[in-house]
Amino acid sequence: MLKLDRVVTYYGPIMALKGISLEINAGEIVCLLGGNASGKSTTIKAILGIVRPQEGAVTFEGQRISGLGTGEIVRRGISLVPEARRIFGRMTVWENLIMGAYSRDGATQVELDQDIERIYGLFPRLRERTTQYAGTMSGGEQQMLAMGRALMSRPRLLLMDEPSMGLSPALVDQVFDIIQEINRHGTTILVVEQNAAVALSIAHRGYVLQNGSIVVQDSAAALLQADDIRRAYLGEDSS
Amino acid sequence: MSDLLSMLPQQLVFGIALGTIYGLLALGYTMVYGVLFMINFAHGEVFMIGAYVGWAVFAALLDHQVGGLHPIWVLPVLLLPAMLFCGGLGMAIERFAYRPLYRRGATRLGPLISAVGASIFLQNAVMLTQGARMKVYMTNLLFPREWRFNFLGVSVSALLIVMVVVAAIMMWGLNTLVQKTRLGRAIRAVAEDREMAAVMGVSVNNVIGATFFLGSALAGVAGVLIGLYYTQIDFVMGYSAGLKAFTAAVLGGIGNIKGAMLGGLILGIVESFAVTFINPAFKDVIAFGLLILTLIFRPEGILGEPLADWKKV
Amino acid sequence: MSAHRKWALIAAGIAVALLAPLLAPNDYVVGVMARICLYALLALGLNVVVGFAGLLDIGYVAFFGIGSYVYAFLASPHFGIHLPTIVILPIIIAATAFAGILIGAPTLRLRGDYLAIVTLGFGEITYILLLNLDRPINITGGPSGLITVDPPSLLGFVASRNLHYYYLFLLVLGVFLTASIRLRDSRIGWAWQAIREDELAAEAMGVNTVVAKLQAFAMGAAFAGIAGGLLASWQRSVFPDNFLLQESINILAMVILGGMGNVLGVVLGAAVIVALPEIFRDLALYRLLAFGALLMLLMIFRPQGLLPARWPLREKAAEATTKRGATPA
């Protein structure tokens, strides 16, 4: 469904992504792992057109999207749950969700209301806060809002940038359960994460990014097993 | 002294009238600053051009000896072309003088200087095409002098009431648009987090254009109103009015719509009072002084949210 | 450029500057040359504030005005004081530098647009004060200004012809030019550059941004003040209308056109902006229109100006990177 082919991007004079290739098939959960400044967020930006690849191509459902504007790319069915949530703090929960559906030009109010209902079904806590300003909510609630907002555009591919960041372990489990449920309903998901263990626990496959290059790729099970890989690249013990 | 004090209520009324105009102008500054973090230096000239457009329509009506002039239909006929023309002009300025400069450089010098250039250009374009002498609004043909009433010893003219009503309608309209419509949400999204708005599918450039249209249209309204109120307009009026309106925007809280109107009212009233007690020549000093004090002691303005680090501003 | 060529060019430049008025067709042209030198001083001063330190001061003309009026106070019948020029100049420097600090202080926390507007406000306030402080006590002479100001005198020689003024201004210009170059390459100059590029980073590196910014304001103000004194002594009068906002914008245009930060560039910019209206006299009506258009087009097509600035800091950094070779991770 999504394919990156030897994508190279620059940050000023510095090469951020050094020719990475990866593939995501429809229906999968794929995780992209790596430490700080490994290029994870840059990959997301490259997919979404926020950063333009200098070389290489990004294709989505057979069509080349690298070089298109972000709005165009989003309209083709890709959505983002950004790092640090980045919900619109000065808007209410309901308004944030409605903004999520902005790219759906033809949607009727009835359809949008139904979708919002569905989101509230996934995240009951949001229903309680529908008129609350998003900026006043807790980190976990904001994460749910960010996910709900991303789902409002009915994406076929959902990009998630470090969903576990800043959340308590209990919340992390909750969030990743929901990610699995979203996937079960048919959405393909790319999760970018530093917390390798939890990401691999729900993913089908994984890539490991280091210094802008893919160093390992394998099935999630294999990655979880291989001790040396875990320690070398994911930098932690088995947990 | 008691003489002066007894003038206060009347001055208050004048202050409110002036305040509505400053408020309408301040709305334009505040909206543009909200989405672009830039002071639209040319905004004052758009206001001035609005006054000229209104004058031209008014003069045309008089030339063709259209009878039965009544504000109820003449006013919209003056306002609408001014709003549309100014709205379009504002969009054009953004498109050609600012947009090419967004990507450049670390400093915000580029758009600011371009704005100064646009301001000078527009001023002189009007002077060259319309003549250097002032134009007159025949307001009393529309609002006869008798149309006033006395309220607690203060004389309030019908024109004044109309001004306040028009400004209130405009502000209400803008606020509704920004709070309740899809475009309004898009504007707020761009103002808050431009990148995420783009990820939602918002066309940031279109939203910026729309913001300029709205702010400039309001400037057009303000231009017509000030023409009717002061009856004299000239090509330099945009400059000082613009600066004062900017002061009003900062006073109320830049980026905040209600703040802009509030700031406008406060500035109008303070200026009116100041003129009574101090040499009128210094009234501009009041406005600048207020601006400087606000930026030093409460840069976020009255209704603004305190920003964590005002160096970002 | 080799040292030899550099010195040869400088020598040539000085020769041209010294001989130019002798080649002028008439006295009026000499006057224009003098005016170019005067405005070059202003451009150099603003260059310190805007070009070096990155502080957008649109109210710069205020210092020009303060310097002028101080000179007029101290060398005219108005207060009956007639100090020699040599004594007045340091007083002007002190007064305008002080004004620079006064005006700069409130702006320290402000950035870009806001800084510009506040300095604009101060510029306007200065103009209004100059215009109106003639009642109840006549300090500034009001709209009609002050007249019969003494001409500059040095060791008994009193300037009277445009030619004298030209050489006087040229001399001061030479001094300021040297000072500017020295400043740019000095420690404070580096501090200014750092602030201009990234203020937070500069602070992190230990630059005292408060002091550095105030120094920039004071320095720039002093340059303008001296230029103001020279104007007063040349015009033999001062009027508030000499110091309108448009002048600030003119000077800013000179700096931008010439190349913000480039010392020679801004002198060139001053020459162009002063000379152009003279060349296109017939199109005087369209002067401002063209001026406005020029500013816009300049920003879009050539924001770096005629002579782009060379920043020692940036160049040294670039050198260091290429020496190390590979791109860092």
DSSP character string of C260-326:
TT-HHHHHHHHHHHHHHHHHTGGGGGGHHHHHHHHHHHHHHH-TT-SS----HHHHHHHHHHHHH-S
Q: How confident is the model at residue B54 (pLDDT cuts 50, 70, 90)?
A: very high
The torsion angle over the Cα atoms of residues C210, C216, C221 and C224, rounded to 10 degrees, is -170
Report the SS3 class of residue A68.
coil
Query: Which uninterrupted H or E stretch holds A50?
Result: none
C327/A contact by beta carbon, under 8 A: yes
Nearest CB to B196; choose among A71, A86, A98: A86
- Give yes or no for residue B98 having a pLDDT over 50: yes
Query: A36, A46 in Cβ contact below 8 A?
Result: no
Q: How confident is the model at residue C314 (pLDDT cuts 50, 70, 90)?
A: low
- Give yes or no for residue B132 having a pLDDT over 70: yes
Per CB-CB distance under 8 Å, the chain C contacts of A14 are: 327-329
**What's the pLDDT at C311?**
62
- Predicted complex: ipTM over 0.95: no
Q: In degrees rounded to 5, what are phi and psi of residue B294? A: -60, -45
Per CB-CB distance under 8 Å, the chain A contacts of C327 are: 13-15
Buried b (16+ CB within 10 A) or exposed e, A61-74: eeeebbebbbbebb
Query: Tokens for C17?
Result: 């500057």
Are residues C327 and A211, on separate chains, in Cβ contact within 8 Å? no
**What's the pLDDT at B155?**
81
Nearest CB to C109; choose among B117, B281, B310: B310
Q: Give the chain B residue whose CA is nearest to the CA of C122.
A: B288
- Which is nearest to A23 in space by CA: A200, A207, A158? A207
**What's the pLDDT at C317?**
58
Q: Neighbouring chains of B at 3+ CB pairs within 8 Å?
A: A, C
Nearest CB to B124; choose among C121, C135, C292: C292
Q: Give the chain C residue whose CA is nearest to the CA of B39.
A: C113
- Give yes or no for residue B311 having a pLDDT over 60: no
Instruction: Give me the residue spans of the domains in chain C.
Output: 40-245
**DSSP characters for C6-33?**
HHHHHHHHHHHHHHHHHH-SSHHHHHHH
Average pLDDT, stretch C240-246? 89
The Cα C206–Cα C228 span in angstroms is: 35
**What's the pLDDT at A239?**
41
- Give yes or no for residue C188 having a pLDDT over 70: yes
How close A46 gets to chain C, by Cα (Å)? 19
**What's the pLDDT at B10?**
83
Are residues B295 and C118, on separate chains, in Cβ contact within 8 Å? yes
Are residues C292 and B243, on separate chains, in Cβ contact within 8 Å? no
The Cα A62–Cα C171 span in angstroms is: 72
Which neighbouring-strand residues pair with A24?
Answer: A2
What are the structural domains of chain A?
1-77+185-239 (3.40.50.300)
Are residues C327 and A13, on separate chains, in Cβ contact within 8 Å? yes
Are residues B117 and C285, on separate chains, in Cβ contact within 8 Å? no
Query: B19, B264 in Cβ contact below 8 A?
Result: yes
First to last CA, chain B: 43
**What's the pLDDT at A229?**
58
- Which is nearest to A12 in space by CA: B110, C199, C318? C318
Q: How big is the A-B interface in CB pairs under 8 Å?
A: 51
What are the structural domains of chain B?
2-312 (1.10.3470)
Amino acid at the residue B204: V
Q: Give this prediction's pTM.
A: 0.86
- Which is nearest to C304 in space by CA: A127, B104, A23, B49? B104
Q: Neighbouring chains of C at 3+ CB pairs within 8 Å?
A: A, B
The Cα B229–Cα B220 span in angstroms is: 14
Q: In degrees rounded to 5, what are phi and psi of residue A152? A: -60, -25
- Give yes or no for residue B100 having a pLDDT over 80: yes
The Cα A64–Cα C255 span in angstroms is: 46
Q: What is the pLDDT of residues B58-76, one digit of tens each?
A: 988 888 877 777 778 888 8
